[in-house]
Structure 1
Amino acid sequence: MLLENKVFAITGGASGIGRAAALDAARQGADIAITDVMEEKHVEPLLRAIEAQGRRALYLRGDVAAPETANRFIDSIRETLGGLDIFVSNAGICPFHAFLDMPPATLEKTVSVNLLGAYFMVQAAAKLMVAQGRGGAIIAVSSISALVGGEFQTHYTPTKAGVLSLMQSTAIALGRHGIRCNAVLPGTIRTAINENDLADERKARKLIERIPLGRLGEPEDLAGPIVFLASDMARYVTGASLLVDGGCFVNLQ
């Protein structure tokens, strides 16, 4: 019970990595708050699964790209769950597209969700944690793409580098308040964000050949690292970046 009686909030928590992390945090004893763009009826099974662990569950539908969503989410957490101990910025999009004809709207939407959305949410969560005066943990889901380029990800990789940098800077800004800020950098994880891309079996096979552990990642592979960084086991860890990529990055030569 690494997160017993903690309040754990996550963006983009209705599916993929976010869903897996929320479920694992509940198993570790935390009450869970989730925001996502899905209609609540589609999130009900997840909320019931959290409650089946004996934990409270809160869902707020909203777009992280809108600054007001951050304030609504944090206000709901304070009013319904009584406070906030752990915040995970996870929401993100990656509409693959070539560079030379990148539509401005695609670039702007990706930056708004992935980078500005993370900024607004982390800022709002940090304000509540500072006001509470009991510290906390903030974790952002960056990507191996923060460290390497991608031909069809010229709009995406800069946002993930920005998220990593945001955690490094907030670790400095918030350390005096006892708030730890860290990033996880997943490699290729099977989620809805890359479902169509990985449908190409030849491409998926080539990706797997570069991974020393011999497989693509699953959302559950991120849950443990996120819970670790959220827990007191990582009480002296801040400003860190944790690769969760099956060894892909170190095998790029």
Structure 2
Amino acid sequence: MLLAGKRVVITGASRGIGRAIALGCARHGADVMLGHSGRSSADDILTLRHQIEVLGRKVADQAGDIGDPDTGAALIAMAVEQLGGVDVFISNAGICPFHAFLDMPQETYYRTVNTNLNGAYFAVQAAARQMQQQGEGGAIIAVSSISALVGGGMQTHYTPTKAGLLSLMQSCAIALGPLGIRCNALLPGTIETDINREDLADPHKRSTMQNRIPLGRLGQPEDLVGPAVFLASDLARYVTGASLLVDGGMYVNLQ
């Protein structure tokens, strides 16, 4: 129960990594505010809410496009209304519509940047303002990616956003440290989620990716739970400005 009594807000909570982390936080005693896009399945959200309620924790959810700069503030306001405050904010929402560089549509580029970086920026800002008002510090975690450190030919619009999230956490660690707010980044490797399911359906591509990973398997959303809970908890009370690779050793194997 590393997060007993804490109030956690997480974006992109309906599926994949966000869903796993939300449930993991609840299992460690946190009340949870679920941010999700309006495109999320109602059944997915209802099931997740039920799973959290069965654990005896408070849960609320709110739909909204995180690419809209006002969505983050609305989500934080709802968390204050429903949970009484915010102790942990996890910026997880993201998209990766694979596309070649030379004919990248402007709409695809801007949608990716607005969702992954711009929306995250203003959501982090809203969470930090609430934590400042509460006066008890807090923890902010951005789910970046190994793509913040390596390139991808079909991800020229995506990798800069993940590098931006990593840099944002480093700068926020400095800006918010005096307020007792810790800011850290998680850098997942290849995790099987809806984002890459079609890409990994190619047997050759899947085998190639697995062979790059020293632990010999692709990651699962649940592999992010332990690292996220650690960074959100008081066990990490002297950890800020850090980046934690959760990639099965893939990054070091690429060097």
TM-score of the superposition, structure 1-length normalised?
0.99
Deviation at residue 41 of structure 1 after TM alignment:
4.2
Q: What secondary structure, in the 3-state scheme, does the structure 2 residue paired with 1:192 have?
A: coil
Tell me the distance in 1 between the aligned counterparts of 2:244 and 2:22: 19
Q: What secondary structure, in the 3-state scheme, does the structure 1 residue paired with 2:89 have?
A: strand
- CA-to-aligned-CA distance 1:152-201 (integer Å, 9 cap, x gap): 00000000000000000000000000000000000000000000000001
The within-5 A match list for 1:52-67 is: 52-67=54-69
* Matching residue of 1:31: 31
Contact 1:40–1:59 (8 Å) recurs in 2 = no
Tell me the distance in 1 between the aligned counterparts of 2:254 and 2:14: 32
Out of 166, 169, 181, the residue aligned to residue 168 of structure 2 is 166
Q: What secondary structure, in the 3-state scheme, does the structure 2 residue paired with 1:185 have?
A: strand
* Matching residue of 1:208: 210
In structure 1, give the amino acid aligned to 2:2.
Answer: L
In structure 2, give the amino acid aligned to 1:33.
Answer: M
Tell me the distance in 1 between the aligned counterparts of 2:50 and 2:235: 28
* Matching residue of 1:87: 89
Contact 2:2–2:29 (8 Å) recurs in 1 = yes
Deviation at residue 69 of structure 1 after TM alignment:
1.0
* Matching residue of 1:100: 102
Tell me the distance in 2 between the aligned counterparts of 1:100 and 1:22: 38
Tell me the distance in 1 between the aligned counterparts of 2:226 and 2:182: 17
- CA-to-aligned-CA distance 1:92-145 (integer Å, 9 cap, x gap): 000000000000110000000000011011000000000000000000000000
In structure 2, give the amino acid aligned to 1:208.
Answer: Q
Contact 1:211–1:251 (8 Å) recurs in 2 = yes
Percent sequence identity over aligned pairs: 64
Tell me the distance in 1 between the aligned counterparts of 2:204 and 2:69: 41
Tell me the distance in 1 between the aligned counterparts of 2:126 and 2:215: 38
Out of 139, 147, 150, the residue aligned to residue 148 of structure 1 is 150
Tell me the distance in 2 between the aligned counterparts of 1:58 and 1:143: 27
The within-5 A match list for 1:63-142 is: 63-142=65-144
* Matching residue of 1:238: 240
Tell me the distance in 2 between the aligned counterparts of 1:104 and 1:66: 17
In structure 2, give the amino acid aligned to 1:183.
Answer: A
Listed as ranges, the gaps of 5+ residues in structure 2 are none
The within-5 A match list for 1:167-186 is: 167-186=169-188
Q: What secondary structure, in the 3-state scheme, does the structure 2 residue paired with 1:34 have?
A: strand
Q: What secondary structure, in the 3-state scheme, does the structure 1 residue paired with 2:186 have?
A: strand
Tell me the distance in 2 between the aligned counterparts of 1:120 and 1:202: 39
* Matching residue of 1:22: 22
Q: Which runs of 4+ in 1 moved over 4 A?
A: none
Q: Which moved more, 1:32-41 or 1:104-113?
A: 32-41
Contact 1:96–1:152 (8 Å) recurs in 2 = yes
Contact 2:72–2:120 (8 Å) recurs in 1 = no
Tell me the distance in 1 between the aligned counterparts of 2:155 and 2:72: 26
Tell me the distance in 2 between the aligned counterparts of 1:173 and 1:39: 37
Q: What secondary structure, in the 3-state scheme, does the structure 2 residue paired with 1:159 have?
A: helix
In structure 1, give the amino acid aligned to 2:65.
Answer: D
Q: What secondary structure, in the 3-state scheme, does the structure 2 residue paired with 1:108 have?
A: helix
In structure 2, give the amino acid aligned to 1:14.
Answer: S
Contact 2:15–2:44 (8 Å) recurs in 1 = no
